[in-house]
């Protein structure tokens, strides 16, 4: 484990390839030792009390043809969610202005598609250009991209593209069958080639087990380069989805996952994402101590609830955190 300790003393992990067994060994460490190491590494790369805040809006809800087992928006699951058309740009901009006024620095737009069709691109590109004009960073998650689409997004001014790997490679087929992990990696290659920042993370609590979580982190950390932003989602078990009865992950296990993401991806923003509504303030504080320095901010994450902004402002004040 000496190489990990050396990294806490200032050595870079950028070129390192992580083995799953090494990450499993990190999971076995005493929790407070692990959090201490993660905080040391965090402070080498980031200001210790700054947290980036992103707001996420569903610009096209429901009716997705994919069968992702966790997702309320799949047309294959009976979750009671109604299929909606792409939002008009005025409504998107209204939400973006409100997000900026409440202190978000990045505005993320998500569409429930397998991937955007050619006719979908024009309105999305216009949304990106207009949101960018408001002085916000822009991010979209649109599914799998075809040739040329990433370049068009870049030319419109897109800053980040979100496309999660969701889970461990060996567990992937138990969560999704309508596309492969390689399909996702191919889209990420297109995004990198276009010069767009990569936002890519995963979900814990789908039955993947500790080895699955270690494998997922290894997949992310061994990307070249690792993702710029790494959202770590705690499964929200939505009734009507195949994951509705999934057993919740122990809160300390979630903190371990955050800490290990920080240790293995020292220069990435590690984001608290779905599941914050179910977390106590104390658990979130431990996650910040473990190296999380980004969060989704605002009352709604696509189709699930999130803590309201006033609550988050009080939490930031109590912890002495600064929004960036």
Q: Active-site residue numbers? A: 64, 68, 71, 108, 139, 199, 271
CA distances from 13 to 8, 9, 31, 65, 307 (A): 10, 12, 21, 39, 34
Alpha-carbon distance of 161 to 91, in angstroms, equals 21
Structure tokens of 230? 């790494």
Nearest residue to 234 via CA among 262, 264, 206 = 206
Residue spans of beta strands (DSSP E) within the chain = 50-60, 106-111, 137-141, 160-162, 197-199, 202-204, 229-234, 269-272, 294-296, 300-301, 304-305, 322-323
Supply the DSSP string of 164-187, one letter for each residue.
--BS-GGGGGGT--SS-HHHHHHH
Alpha-carbon distances of 274 from 97, 211, 235, 238, 296, rounded to whole Å: 22, 21, 7, 12, 8
Find out whether 141 and 296 touch, Cβ atoms under 8 Å: no
CA–CA gap between residue 273 and residue 232 (Å, rounded): 6
User: 176 with 68: CB under 8 angstroms?
Assistant: yes
């Amino acid at each position: 484990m000496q190489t990990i300790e050396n990294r806490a003393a200032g050595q870079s992990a950028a070129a390192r390839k992580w083995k799953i067994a090494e990450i499993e060994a990190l999971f076995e460490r005493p929790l407070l030792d692990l959090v201490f190491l993660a905080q040391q590494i965090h402070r080498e790369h980031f200001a210790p009390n700054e947290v980036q805040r992103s707001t996420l809006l569903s610009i096209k809800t429901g009716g997705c043809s994919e069968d992702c087992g966790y997702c309320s928006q799949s047309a294959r699951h009976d979750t009671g969610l109604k299929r909606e058309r792409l939002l008009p740009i005025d409504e998107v901009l209204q939400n973006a202005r409100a997000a900026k006024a409440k202190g978000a620095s990045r505005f993320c737009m998500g569409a429930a598609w397998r991937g955007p069709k050619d006719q979908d691109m024009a309105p999305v590109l216009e949304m990106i250009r207009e949101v960018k004009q408001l002085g916000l960073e822009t991010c979209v998650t649109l599914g799998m991209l075809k040739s040329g689409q990433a370049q068009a997004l870049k030319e419109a001014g897109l800053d980040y593209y979100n496309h999660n790997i969701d889970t461990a490679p060996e567990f992937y087929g138990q969560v999704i069958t309508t596309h492969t992990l390689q399909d996702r990696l191919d889209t990420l290659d297109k995004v990198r080639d276009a010069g767009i920042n990569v936002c890519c993370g995963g979900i814990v609590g789908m039955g993947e087990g500790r080895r699955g979580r270690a494998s997922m982190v290894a997949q992310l950390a061994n990307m070249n380069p690792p993702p710029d932003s790494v959202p770590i989602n705690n499964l929200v078990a939505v009734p009507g989805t195949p994951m509705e009865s999934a057993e919740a992950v122990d809160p300390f296990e979630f903190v371990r996952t955050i800490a290990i993401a920080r240790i293995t991806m020292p220069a990435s923003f590690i984001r608290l994402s779905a599941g914050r509504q179910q977390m106590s303030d104390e658990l979130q504080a431990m996650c910040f101590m473990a190296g999380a320095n980004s969060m989704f901010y605002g009352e709604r994450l696509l189709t699930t609830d999130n803590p309201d902004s006033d609550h988050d402002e009080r939490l930031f004040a109590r912890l002495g955190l600064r929004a960036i």
